């Protein structure tokens, strides 16, 4: 603050508003120069402190997450891990697809762990949770005063991931205007903080994930084709748990062990009939649902051995929200459920329904299943 009025109120106000010094006219050149240099240095170090604070916050978040251990031995999982190992050491952009709870985030972490960037951060952004208005400031950062709440300069996730990996989760939830903004940054490999005109180069490895069918979204005009090609150098599709039932028993044992030790309970055994029940269930929520099921069983059950009754599955969402009005609707629902349970095996489904295989087949035609 440079002024001819040396009033205390004015000085206090100026300092409150962020002035580093208060200089009265007439000034001495040498002193003025020293003050300006000090102010510039102070500004630089404040910026650096801000950047370090952001990085520290992200590191803390990372540390809070448990290290991931990929459990399973199914041929499909083994194949997946082989591809992950090959791809991880390259800088290729990776798109991970799969239903909810299949392990997309876990595989993104594995890609980072096995990459040449593993000394740097993996920065995760849940695209579904970022609002339209905050998108740019979250991803690209902002300068002080760029908008009402921007009290301090802040780096965005792109800059935080510099030299490391940026994981964009739920990429299919991004609106078309935001897709354009993201594409521009990926093409130029530079970001501009909101309110600034300075471009900052960024060096990131990009991993994206979605449970949606992006190809279909491209055909429907809901996802930009150019963005799809850019994020999709390598596409890894993680199969749902019901398509790799060989993983269920080891995952179940793994979670039993984990939660027994977390809740200080004796390690229980899994009876053969209980395991059968787990292996024959469709797991619409995939590994996450299995994990929660085992956690609940560890907390609630008392015996040394877990029995089928220790596992109560939630009814499928479709049957809880859709209540059939007619006998036909009810029949169709039962057929769908039986086919889902038996993974499309007609003989097994017909057997369970108590009808002949041919009858089931005729009914499937009738209901267009
Ligand atoms: N093979 C596995 N071994 C051990 N834990 C697993 C495995 N697969 C998934 N998990 C665990 O299941 C939970 C869900 O996995 P994750 O969050 O990676 O799934 P996701 O596909 O990203 O889910 P969403 O699409 O809902 O975000 C996590 O706690 C994860 O650690």
The answer to whether residue 318 scores a pLDDT higher than 50 is no
State if residue 124 touches ligand 1 by the CB under 6 angstroms criterion: no
Residue whose Cα lies nearest atom 24 of ligand 1: it is: 100
Confirm whether 253 is domain-assigned: no
Note the pLDDT of residue 320: 42
Confirm whether 282 is domain-assigned: yes
The Cα 90–Cα 80 span in angstroms is: 16
- Same domain membership, residue 205 and residue 111: yes
The Cα 203–Cα 159 span in angstroms is: 9
Confirm whether 250 is domain-assigned: no
Domain total for the chain? 4
State if residue 289 touches ligand 1 by the CB under 6 angstroms criterion: no
- Same domain membership, residue 113 and residue 19: no
- Same domain membership, residue 229 and residue 126: yes
- Same domain membership, residue 200 and residue 288: no
The answer to whether residue 134 scores a pLDDT higher than 90 is no
Query: Of the residues 102, 287, 290, which should be mutated to test ligand 1's pocket, given the most ligand atoms within 8 Å of the CB?
Result: 287
Cis geometry, peptide bond prior to residue 86 (ω within 30 degrees of 0): no
- Same domain membership, residue 322 and residue 304: no
Domain that includes residue 15, residue range: 2-52
CB atoms closer than 10 angstroms to residue 369:
12
The Cα 155–Cα 8 span in angstroms is: 36
The Cα 26–Cα 176 span in angstroms is: 57
Long-range CB contact pairs, 119-122, < 8 A, 24+: 120/161, 120/162, 120/163, 120/164, 120/165, 121/55, 121/58, 121/59, 121/62, 121/160, 121/161, 121/164, 121/165, 122/62, 122/161, 122/164, 122/165, 122/167
CA of residue 70 to ligand 1 center, whole Å:
9
CA 288 to chain centre: 13
The Cα 160–Cα 50 span in angstroms is: 12
Among the residue ranges 1-5, 66-70, 220-224, 285-289, the one predicted with the least confidence is: 66-70
User: pLDDT confidence of 66, banded at 50, 70, 90?
Assistant: low
Question: Which of 122, 225, 230 has the alpha carbon at shortest distance from 169?
Answer: 122
Tens-digit pLDDT profile for residues 253-279: 999 999 999 999 988 899 999 999 999
- Same domain membership, residue 354 and residue 303: no
- Same domain membership, residue 183 and residue 134: yes
What ligand 1 atom has the least distance to the C-alpha of 109? 18
- Same domain membership, residue 348 and residue 293: no
ipTM of the complex: 0.98
- Same domain membership, residue 31 and residue 72: no
- Same domain membership, residue 196 and residue 285: no
- How many secondary structure helices (H) and strands (E) does the chain include? 16, 13
Largest Cα–Cα distance of the chain, in whole Å? 103
State if residue 97 touches ligand 1 by the CB under 6 angstroms criterion: no
Cβ atoms 123, 157 nearer than 8 A: yes
What ligand 1 atom has the least distance to the C-alpha of 238? 21
The Cα 336–Cα 348 span in angstroms is: 13
CA of residue 106 to ligand 1 center, whole Å:
6
User: pLDDT confidence of 301, banded at 50, 70, 90?
Assistant: confident
State if residue 101 touches ligand 1 by the CB under 6 angstroms criterion: yes
- Same domain membership, residue 300 and residue 322: no
Cβ atoms 191, 123 nearer than 8 A: no
The answer to whether residue 70 scores a pLDDT higher than 80 is yes
CA of residue 289 to ligand 1 center, whole Å:
9
State if residue 286 touches ligand 1 by the CB under 6 angstroms criterion: no
- Same domain membership, residue 148 and residue 208: yes
Confirm whether 251 is domain-assigned: no
Residue 76: give its domain's CATH number.
3.40.50.300
Tens-digit pLDDT profile for residues 337-353: 888 888 888 888 998 89
Tens-digit pLDDT profile for residues 5-26: 888 899 889 888 888 888 889 9
CA of residue 286 to ligand 1 center, whole Å:
8
């Amino acid at each position: 603050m440079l002024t001819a009025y040396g009033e205390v109120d004015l000085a206090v106000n100026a300092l409150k508003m962020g002035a580093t010094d208060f200089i009265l006219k007439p000034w001495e050149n040498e002193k003025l120069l020293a003050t300006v240099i000090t102010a510039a240095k102070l500004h630089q170090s404040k910026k650096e402190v801000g950047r370090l604070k952001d990085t520290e916050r992200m590191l803390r978040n990372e540390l809070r997450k448990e290290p991931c251990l990929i459990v399973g031995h199914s041929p499909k999982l083994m194949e997946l891990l082989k591809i992950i190992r090959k791809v991880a050491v390259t800088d290729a952009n990776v798109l991970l697809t799969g239903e909810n709870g299949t392990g997309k985030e876990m595989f993104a972490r594995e890609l980072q762990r096995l990459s040449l960037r593993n000394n740097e951060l993996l920065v995760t952004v849940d695209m579904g949770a970022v609002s339209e208005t905050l998108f740019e400031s979250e991803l690209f950062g902002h300068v002080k005063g760029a908008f009402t709440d921007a009290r301090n300069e802040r780096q965005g996730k792109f800059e935080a991931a510099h030299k490391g990996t940026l994981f964009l989760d739920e990429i299919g939830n991004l609106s078309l205007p935001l897709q354009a903004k993201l594409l521009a940054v990926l093409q130029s490999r530079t970001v501009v903080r909101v309110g600034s005109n300075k471009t900052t180069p960024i060096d990131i490895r990009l991993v994206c994930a979605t449970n949606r069918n992006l190809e279909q979204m491209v055909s429907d005009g809901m996802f930009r084709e150019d963005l799809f090609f850019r994020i999709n150098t390598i596409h890894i599709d993680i199969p749902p748990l019901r398509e790799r039932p060989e993983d269920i028993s080891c995952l179940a044992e793994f979670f039993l062990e984990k939660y027994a030790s977390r809740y200080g309970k004796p390690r229980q055994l899994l009876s053969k009939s209980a395991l059968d029940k787990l292996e024959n269930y469709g797991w619409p929520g995939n590994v996450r649902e299995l994990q929660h099921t085992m956690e609940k069983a560890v907390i609630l059950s008392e015996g040394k051995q877990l029995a089928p009754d220790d596992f109560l599955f939630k009814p499928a969402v479709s049957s809880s929200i859709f209540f059939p009005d007619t006998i036909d609707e009810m029949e169709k629902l039962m057929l769908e459920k039986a086919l889902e349970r038996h993974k499309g095996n007609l003989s097994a489904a017909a057997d369970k329904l108590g009808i002949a295989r041919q009858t089931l087949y005729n009914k499937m035609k009738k209901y267009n299943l």
